[in-house]
Structure 1
């Protein structure tokens, strides 16, 4: 299976809470492959929103582009701004995060696939 073909359009999907431990952080799915879990989404932090205080790791590749606002990595003590990009392999530690002014990001998730598939 793969992501559904889509021509340019205004995203119309609902915004959903990003996770139970992340109040004020919202996701809007743009495209998803239900078989693999690969996905492209918009993520929005409301002003002052923060992730849970733990360092984040996951089992997928994650690419993130900050579109507006800024995001602070509390673990690194660094603030990243619109136009900045991250590419994280599975297992890479990052965060926790907080956004004082709020921000929006484009997020691409890709699970490792067996070369034989």
Structure 2
């Protein structure tokens, strides 16, 4: 099987606002929109939208056993683990186990995430 496909559309348009889902535990701070997923492998591409003022410090940093790529589509997001403001255009390819976050944003931020949960670290 392969990742799901869809014809051109713009998930950032207000008309598509109802397709975003709150992230469990981050309700009111962040929401997500899965763009593509492989039901067999679990690999996915999604957007995460952090609302202005969001702060995930209460949840601490995060690491997972699989690699992921992120791209800042708009806004800015502070990554405490790296002590850096990620702004529009920033990109990272994270190896398995890399600590990232917690995150905070003043103006809000949209992040494109491509994750590979089937490629876990042994």
The structure whose residues are more often strand, as a share, is: 1
Q: How many residues align?
A: 114
Query: How far apart are the structure 1 equivalents of 2:35 and 2:43?
Result: 11
Q: 1:20 to 1:53 in 2, by over 3 A?
A: closer
- Structure 2 Cα separation of the partners of residues 53 and 73 of structure 1: 13
8 Å CA contact 2:42, 2:118 repeated in 1: no
- Which one of the candidate residues 25, 32, 50 is aligned to 2:30? 25
**CA RMSD across the alignment:** 2.0
2:84 to 65, 78, 87: 78
Residue matched to 1:43? 48
Runs of 4+ in 1 over 4 A off after TM superposition: none
Q: Tell which deviates more after alignment, 101-110 or 71-80.
A: 71-80
Structure 2 length-normalised TM: 0.81
| Residue 111 (structure 1) aligns with | 117
Are the equivalent residues in 1 in contact too, given 2:80–2:100 (CA < 8 A)? no
Runs of 5+ consecutive residues of structure 2 not aligned to the other structure:
none
Call closer, same or farther: CA 1:4–1:53 in 2, change over 3 Å: closer
Q: Is the 8 A contact 2:45 2:113 kept in 1?
A: yes
Gaps of 5+ in 1: none
Distance 1:113 1:47, change over 3 A: closer
